[in-house]
Structure 1
Amino acid sequence: MIKLSYDIKNYRKQILDLTQNGDTIIELGCHVGNTTKILLDNFRDSKIMALDNSPEATIKMNEILCDNLEFINADVRLHETLLEVFKRIQKCDILSIDLGGGYHPDTVFKVFYIWSSTFKPKHTLIRNRGILEFFNSAGSSDEDYESCEGFLDSYHDSGIPPQIKEFELWTPNLGKY
């Protein structure tokens, strides 16, 4: 299931509702760890991989590090970051994406596409005003494309189209690592 929100309270409620104890969670855009702390408090047996490249993140995230939390200070748009996480875990149950809340929906969608097609989560949560506004403004279609998982079924192994210059990754190549 893919959930969209903008309000931080809704986003956190959604992640709490979808997460089960023991899940593996990748949190892209953890910032100073406020959502991470909520996850740690509620799901002690879950593994959390949190990523952010903001300068504030490292100090705050290092304060809450524990056995079931790994923090990586890195840019989630980079191939090297995706590869580093993939070498540590090949699959996740929850993919949580909060990259600036309302800014750059195109970048957020590209990050969603790459990370979700790589890790194939059961659930993906995206906090982004632009994507939510687009979704709520779009009319319905009689075409039947719908995914029941946290990734797009129709593209899960097709790789990255060449026109996406920000990501020089072809997802099936990850299988060799």
Structure 2
Amino acid sequence: MIKVSYNIKKYRNQLFEVINHGDTIIELGCHVGTTSRMILDSFEDITLISVDNSPEAIPKMDNLKNEYDNLCFIHGDVRLHDVLSLVFKKTQSCDVLSVDLGGGYHPDTVFKVFYIWSSTFKPKSTIIRNRGLLEFLNSTSKSDESFYSSEGYLESYKNEGIPPQIKEFELWTNSLK
């Protein structure tokens, strides 16, 4: 199942609807850990891998990491292949993929990140917070073609494991060069 929302409360509610005890969760865009803490406070027996590139995340997430043994924080850019590889070394799959990158900005980047990460980790559920994607979805008319994924990734992606580095990543932003 893949859900897209923009409202932070709806996004968090959707996360709590799909998280189960014992799950492995990859959280992309944890920022200072507000949602991370809510997850960790509610589920003692999950594994949470949180990734964020913002400098503000480092002290807050390091403090949170000291409080919870089941949290792994990685300071890095989720668009970089090395960051994807680092998370893949920690776990080759996840139950829930949580994507909150900028809330309303860059739906194309959010979709690319979702596609690469979800096709790599094959989550049961993906929750995405992005206004641009939600606006796009709500503005489309239904096609008579039937393509549907019941998992948290696009089932048309058949390959296993981590994909090769994608040259297109270099085009996303100057900060990646």
Same fold (TM over 0.5): yes
Asked if 1:165 corresponds to 2:159, the answer is no
Partner Cα separation in structure 1 for residue 122 and residue 145 of structure 2: 23
Runs of 4+ in 1 over 2 A off after TM superposition: 158-162
C-alpha displacement of 1:51: 0.3
C-alpha displacement of 1:82: 0.2
Partner Cα separation in structure 2 for residue 105 and residue 30 of structure 1: 17
Asked if 1:106 corresponds to 2:108, the answer is yes
Equivalent residues of 1:92, 1:121 under 8 A apart:
yes
Equivalent residues of 1:93, 1:121 under 8 A apart:
yes
Secondary structure (helix, strand or coil) at the match of 2:146 reads coil
C-alpha displacement of 1:63: 1.1
**Structure 1: which amino acid aligns with 2:72?**
E
Partner Cα separation in structure 1 for residue 75 and residue 136 of structure 2: 30
Percent identity between the two aligned chains: 60
1:175 is aligned to none
1:58 is aligned to 58
* Equivalent runs, 1:24-173 vs 2, <5 Å: 24-65=24-65, 66-157=68-159, 165-166=168-169
Compute the TM-score of the two structures, normalised by the length of structure 1.
0.90
C-alpha displacement of 1:161: 11
Equivalent residues of 2:81, 2:165 under 8 A apart:
no
1:7 is aligned to 7
Partner Cα separation in structure 1 for residue 72 and residue 133 of structure 2: 28
Secondary structure (helix, strand or coil) at the match of 2:97 reads strand
Partner Cα separation in structure 2 for residue 161 and residue 79 of structure 1: 6
Which structure 2 segments of 5+ residues have no match? 171-177
Which structure 1 segments of 5+ residues have no match? 168-177
Partner Cα separation in structure 2 for residue 50 and residue 152 of structure 1: 22
Cα displacement string for residues 14-66 of structure 1 (whole angstroms, at most 9, x for unaligned residues):
00111001100000000000000110011110000000000000000111112
Secondary structure (helix, strand or coil) at the match of 1:61 reads helix
1:171 is aligned to none
Partner Cα separation in structure 2 for residue 67 and residue 78 of structure 1: 26
Equivalent residues of 1:118, 1:156 under 8 A apart:
no
Q: 1:92 to 1:35 in 2, by over 3 A?
A: same
The number of residue pairs the alignment matches comes to 167
Equivalent residues of 1:121, 1:151 under 8 A apart:
yes
C-alpha displacement of 1:133: 0.4
Compute the TM-score of the two structures, normalised by the length of structure 2.
0.90
Please provide the CA RMSD for this pair. Answer: 1.8
